[in-house]
């Protein structure tokens, strides 16, 4: 291989490595906030269980069980954080949840990308999973606009037992797969696939949500748009 080609390949690998590191730093920072939230809930639960122990033992036991489950979640998220790096100076703003997804889609629509949204199944309330799903949608739509020149897109979330399947389809041109989506999916033992469609592009992400102590039915029917 000629020297110029080797240098070009080395520089490309270096750029990809830096991009990967920056994305991991961002993910680690976000998960740090999620772990702090889970530990706060667990601590409050243990304190409440201690207060109820004498006057209402059954309630105390239930409260302590819930605190134990939150502790398990915090431990799992902490292990993910320890697998990544973190730097100072990263924004400490509250991390988004899926309840904020409609505002994100509105922002993309206002910017010129007409987005529709559908969701089905039972939503998992675990903060770290919702944060990852939100960021994956944000990255996919951003790439569709910037690199795919897309004008329309459709986002779909499908919840099954312990699994979230996330699909983003748009009418843009083919492009590289999403680096951030790969990193976030790997945190949950998931997968990412991308393919060219007739007149568009599709990204599919699967996240293994696992069991959550707080499951709630979604507020809207599967086929309804978030604008309705």
pLDDT in tens, 3-59: 656 556 666 776 776 777 777 777 767 776 777 777 777 777 777 777 777 788 888
Q: Determine contact, residues 207/185, Cβ cutoff 8 Å.
A: yes
Whole-angstrom Cα distance, residue 70 to residue 190? 22
Confidence band (pLDDT; 50, 70, 90) for 224? very low
Q: What pTM was computed for the model? A: 0.59
Confidence band (pLDDT; 50, 70, 90) for 88? very low
CATH number of 98-217: 3.30.565.10
Partners of 46 in the β-ladder: none
Domain residue spans in the chain? Answer: 3-82, 98-217
- The third-level CATH classification (topology) of the domain covering 3-82 is 1.20.5
Closest CA to 34 of 91, 92, 95: 95
Whether 3-82 shares its CATH topology with 98-217 is answered: no
pLDDT at position 228 over 50? no
Confidence band (pLDDT; 50, 70, 90) for 133? very high
pLDDT of residue 217: 38
* DSSP labels, the chain: --HHHHHHHHHHHHHHHHHHHHHHHHHHHHHHHHHHHHHHHHHHHHHHHHHHTTT-HHHHHHHHHHHHHHHHHHHHHHHHHHTS---TT---PPPP-GGGHHHHHHHHHHTT-EEEEEEESEEE--HHHHHHHHHHHHHHHHHHHHTT--SEEEEEEEEETTEEEEEEEESS---PPPHHHHHHHHHTT-EEEEEEETTEEEEEEEEE----S-EEE-SS-TT--TT-
Structure tokens at 188: 């949950």
Q: What's the average model confidence in pLDDT over 211-226?
A: 34
pLDDT in tens, 169-211: 999 998 876 778 888 888 888 899 999 999 999 999 999 876 3
């Amino acid at each position: 291989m000629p020297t110029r080609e080797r240098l070009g390949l080395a520089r490309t690998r270096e750029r990809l490595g830096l991009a990967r590191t920056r994305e991991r730093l961002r993910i680690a920072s976000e998960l740090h906030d999620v772990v702090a939230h889970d530990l706060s809930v667990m601590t409050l639960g243990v304190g409440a269980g201690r207060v109820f122990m004498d006057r209402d033992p059954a309630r105390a036991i239930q409260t302590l069980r819930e605190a134990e489950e939150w502790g398990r979640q915090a431990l799992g998220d902490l292990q993910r954080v320890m697998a990544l790096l973190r730097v100072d100076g990263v924004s400490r703003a509250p991390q988004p949840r899926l309840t904020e997804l409609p505002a994100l889609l509105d922002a993309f629509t206002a910017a010129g990308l007409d987005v529709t949204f559908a969701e089905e199944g039972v939503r998992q309330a675990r903060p770290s999973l919702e944060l990852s799903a939100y960021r994956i949608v944000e990255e996919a739509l951003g790439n569709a606009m910037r690199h795919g020149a897309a004008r329309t897109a459709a986002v779909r979330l499908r919840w099954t037992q312990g699994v979230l399947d996330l699909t983003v389809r748009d009418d843009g041109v083919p492009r590289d797969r999403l680096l951030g989506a790969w990193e976030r999916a790997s945190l949950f033992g998931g997968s990412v696939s991308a393919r060219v469609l007739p007149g568009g592009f599709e990204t599919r992400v699967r996240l293994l949500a696992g069991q959550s102590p707080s499951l709630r039915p979604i507020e809207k029917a599967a086929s309804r748009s978030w604008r309705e």
